[in-house]
């Protein structure tokens, strides 16, 4: 194939599709570009049909550090395990692509998106969705496209929406909405927002749907140039007699589904499926049609559940469409941890635990994304026992990473900034039981944990998962869906927010013809459900605790002059390490002179704070100190005023009367009360002693051995070896008169 290019401009930004030059052995390969950000997206469709009861689609997003001109961190200096951002981007590509394949298609499909260049202005994730759609269609795959994805931001000052905003534009935006679909329907929505209204969110979706249609049109122009030839792939068709025999048990399936207890209902349904398989099919048929029989039984379960909702308005657990399951809410569930909250809705239970730490304990990021780190981390764990299953425990799966990111996005807008609350915050949600909406339970539980920890969030956040059953023109929107309604329904729509507005949402759609009008109805119904749940939460904990847990570190922030940072840190960090060892506090110094002092016990923090203030303090005229004698010279003594400052107490100001020798009045280690009488431009400090004693009798008569030999230039004592005339190596005391010009020994 010759190289084919389609360049176009939309909403003030330039884009490009290209194929025919790279990765030509893939089923389809497209180079997609926005600005200078360039990604290669390939699609390979296997030739063989697999005997699976699911569609085997795999999506990988490969973050290449060379794309941003960086060498990977760590010892290997090679890209390894996908970052959380990479995992989320792979999910972002998967979710709008998966519904575009026909039912019964069982060939393996592998999509790989590789970042080649990331320019620092344009994100690669949305264009990779567009590239995946184009790559599949270029290769002739049976994909219902074109499909496209756009990100929608909003200028908070003008209210104007921005299509595919730059990183800088997104930083200023109060909305980060990612929406995908075709020119006719929406298949995926994901958003974070700063408490915006349902009306504004719906307007953003309408804007996004219009933009998607324009990108699909541009993609179609590209495909018209390519003129791909559809490849013949077998779409599996089961023997019609299988469905006929299975559908005869519709009434039995409906009866089995009427059970509010999840495990009991699953047991009845599985028992019925096993009975159908054993009694309606011979051993030979079971061996030949195993996956088809399983698929037909699943389809029967789906039809029975959906008809129950559409025709009777009753759900499997007996609830109405808008009814919320029983709630059980307990903040402060665990002792000693910094904050905790148990949230249960029906048979979904999440325990969230909040831990506070210093800003240094925030997460460092080594990705192609411009963000270098984050102080708020939300992690979600979904162990096998929460669904009564046996499984392997290991690294978090894509679903766990995605649900954690959703809860993190939901709570981020209400967290205090670093200046107000200088802590790193980690919340871990342990899902202990699951029957749908576990990500929303973790969001509610995490709000409880944050409030229990005393984090001054601006408003509490609640969340709810909405579902949809759509049969022709009949549409029923379900509040607080359980697992059965998620798996067999048409939509999983999660919405979080405060009483002021939406903070996050995520939607996956399986139904064709899902309009923004239906989404608007779902948003309004979700608002009612969120308000009901939030009211129940606030009955248990109406506001964040006024005090942090006694086990949480207390962090105090002070500001020091930038030129004093070196004094606080010391050579090789010696000073700051010594302060931490001595006080038990943790000290962090930033480049702008901000110092964070963290300690579990108050006295340790106060001691560290005072020590730092002593180091950076500049004595002022008139101030009084009680300091230790740290140096003695013929002309006076050096008194330690602060950790980094000494002052000179001249011999004439040590006592009432004439003093011949400093040692007659003061010795090293003595404590003396002094007052600052002068601070020179060079920083040298002159002191006067308070409460002066009388000079000892006979001190004024200089002894012969202390006068030294007379020199040829006068009666001045000769300087002894090692006597540098008061120069104390930069500790702030008076030094010798370096401005004097030395006399020349050789005269002409």
Binding positions for Mg(2+): 486, 492
Q: Any bridge partners for residue 14, and if so which? A: 9
Largest CA distance in the chain: 128
Nearest CA to 447 out of 329, 615, 610 is that of 329
Nearest to 95 by CA among 133, 122, 62: 133
419: phi then psi, degrees, rounded to nearest 5: -65, -40
What value, to the nearest 5°, has the Cα angle with vertex 153 and ends 148 and 159?
130
Q: Which residue has the tokens 């330039």?
A: 14
With vertex at residue 467, the alpha carbon angle to CA 465 and CA 473, rounded to the nearest 5 degrees, is: 155
Q: Which residues sit opposite 351 in a β-bridge? A: 342, 430
Give CA–CA dist 467/323, Å, rounded.
12
Residues sharing a CB contact under 8 Å with residue 742, sequence separation 6 or more, in sequence order = none
Neighbours of 317 (CB within 10 A): 20
Query: How many residues comprise the chain?
Result: 748
State the Cα torsion 554-557-558-562 to the nearest 10°: 130
Token pair listed for 67: 């794309």
Q: In what order do the strands lie in the sheet with 376-381?
A: 327-331, 339-345, 348-357, 424-433, 376-381
Q: SS3 string of 491-537?
A: EEEEEEECCCCEEEEEEEECCCCCCHHHHHHHHHHHHHHHHHHHHHH
Cα separation, 138 vs 41, in Å, equals 11
Binding-site positions read: 486, 492
460-478 burial, b at 16+ Cβ within 10 Å, e below that, comes to bbbbbbbbbbbeeeebbbb
Instruction: Locate 548 and state its tokens.
Output: 């942090």
Contact 493, 466 (CB under 8 A): yes
CA 129 from centroid of its chain's CA atoms? 23
Q: DSSP 3-state assignment of 350?
A: strand
- What are the backbone angles phi and psi of residue 655, rounded to the nearest 5°? -155, 165
Segment (H or E) for 293 = helix 283-307
Q: Is 201 left (phi over 0), alpha (psi -120 to 50) or beta?
A: alpha
Q: b vs e for 484-519, b when ≥16 Cβ sit within 10 Å of the residue's Cβ?
A: bbbebbbbbbbbbbbeebbbbbbbbbebeebebebb
SS3 (DSSP) at 262? helix
Q: Which two tokens stand for residue 524?
A: 């309004």
Whether the CB-CB separation of 125 and 216 falls below 8 Å is answered with no
Cα angle 600-603-608, degrees, rounded to a multiple of 5? 90
The span from the CA of 325 to the CA of 262, in Å, is 13
């Amino acid at each position: 194939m010759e190289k084919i290019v389609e360049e176009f401009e939309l909403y003030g930004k330039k884009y490009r599709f290209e194929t025919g030059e790279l990765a030509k052995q893939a089923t389809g390969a497209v180079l997609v570009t926005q600005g200078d950000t360039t990604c290669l997206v390939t699609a390979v469709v296997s030739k063989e049909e697999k005997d699976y009861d699911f569609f085997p689609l795999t999506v990988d997003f490969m973050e290449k550090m060379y794309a941003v001109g960086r060498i990977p961190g760590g010892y290997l200096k090679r890209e390894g395990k996908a970052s959380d951002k990479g995992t989320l981007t792979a999910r972002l590509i998967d979710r709008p692509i998966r519904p575009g394949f026909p039912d019964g298609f069982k060939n393996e499909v592998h999509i790989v998106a590789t970042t080649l260049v990331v320019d620092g202005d344009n994100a690669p994730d949305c264009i990779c969705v567009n590239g995946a759609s184009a790559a599949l269609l270029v290769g002739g795959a049976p994909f219902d496209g074109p499909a496209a994805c756009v990100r929608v931001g909003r200028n908070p000052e003008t209210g104007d929406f921005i299509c595919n905003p730059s990183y800088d534009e997104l930083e200023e935006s109060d909305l980060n909405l990612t929406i995908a679909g075709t020119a006719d329907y929406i298949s995926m929505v994901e958003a974070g927002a700063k408490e915006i209204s349902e009306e504004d969110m719906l307007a953003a979706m309408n804007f996004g749907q219009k933009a998607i249609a324009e990108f699909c049109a541009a993609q179609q122009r590209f495909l018209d140039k390519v003129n791909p030839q559809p490849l013949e792939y077998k779409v599996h068709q089961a023997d019609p007699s299988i469905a006929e025999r299975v559908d005869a048990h519709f009434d039995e399936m409906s009866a089995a589904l009427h059970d509010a207890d999840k495990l009991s209902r699953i047991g009845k349904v599985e028992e019925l499926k096993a009975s159908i398989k054993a009694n309606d099919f011979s051993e030979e048929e079971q061996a030949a049609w195993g996956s088809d029989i399983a698929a037909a039984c699943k389809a029967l379960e789906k039809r029975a559940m959906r008809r129950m909702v559409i025709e009777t308005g009753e759900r499997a657990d007996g609830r109405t469409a808008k009814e919320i399951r029983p709630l059980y809410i307990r903040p402060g569930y665990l002792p000693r941890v910094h904050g905790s909250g148990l949230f249960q809705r029906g048979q979904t239970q999440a325990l969230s635990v909040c831990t506070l730490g210093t800003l240094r304990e925030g997460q460092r990021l080594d990705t192609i994304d411009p963000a270098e780190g984050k102080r708020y981390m939300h992690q979600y764990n979904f162990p096998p026992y929460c669904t009564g299953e046996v499984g392997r425990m290991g690294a978090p799966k894509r679903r766990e990473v995605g649900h954690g990111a959703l809860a993190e996005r939901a709570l981020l807008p209400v967290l205090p900034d670093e200046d107000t609350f200088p802590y790193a915050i980690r919340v871990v949600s342990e899902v202990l039981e699951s029957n749908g909406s576990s990500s929303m339970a973790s969001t509610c539980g995490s709000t409880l944990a944050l409030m229990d920890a005393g984090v001054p969030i601006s408003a509490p956040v609640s969340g709810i998962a909405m579902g949809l059953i759509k049969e022709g023109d009949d549409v029923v929107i379900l509040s607080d869906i359980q697992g059965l309604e998620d798996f067999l329904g048409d939509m999983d729509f999660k919405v979080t927010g405060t009483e002021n507005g939406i903070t996050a949402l995520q939607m996956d759609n399986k139904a064709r013809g899902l309009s923004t009008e239906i989404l608007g109805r779902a948003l309004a119904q979700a608002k009612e459900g969120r308000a009901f749940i939030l009211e129940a939460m606030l009955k248990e904990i109406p506001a964040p605790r006024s005090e942090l847990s006694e086990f949480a570190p207390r962090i105090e922030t002070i500001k020091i002059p930038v030129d004093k940072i070196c004094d606080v840190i010391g050579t090789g960090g010696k000073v700051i390490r010594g302060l931490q060892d001595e006080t038990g506090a943790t000290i962090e110094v930033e480049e702008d002179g901000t110092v964070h002092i963290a300690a579990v016990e108050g006295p340790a923090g106060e001691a560290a704070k005072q020590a730092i203030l002593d180091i950076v303090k500049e004595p002022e005229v008139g101030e009084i100190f009680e300091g230790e004698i740290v140096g003695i010279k013929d002309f006076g003594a050096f008194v330690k005023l602060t950790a980094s400052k000494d002052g000179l107490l001249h011999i004439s100001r040590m006592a009432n009367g004439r003093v011949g020798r400093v040692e007659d009045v003061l010795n090293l280690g003595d404590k003396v009360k002094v007052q600052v009488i002068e601070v020179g431009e060079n920083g040298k400090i002159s002191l006067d002693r308070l409460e002066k004693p009388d000079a000892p009798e006979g001190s004024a008569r200089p002894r012969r051995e202390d006068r030294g030999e007379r020199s040829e230039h006068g009666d001045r004592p000769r300087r002894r070896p090692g006597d540098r005339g008061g120069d104390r190596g930069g500790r702030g005391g008076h030094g010798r008169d370096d401005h004097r010009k030395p006399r020349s020994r050789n005269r002409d």
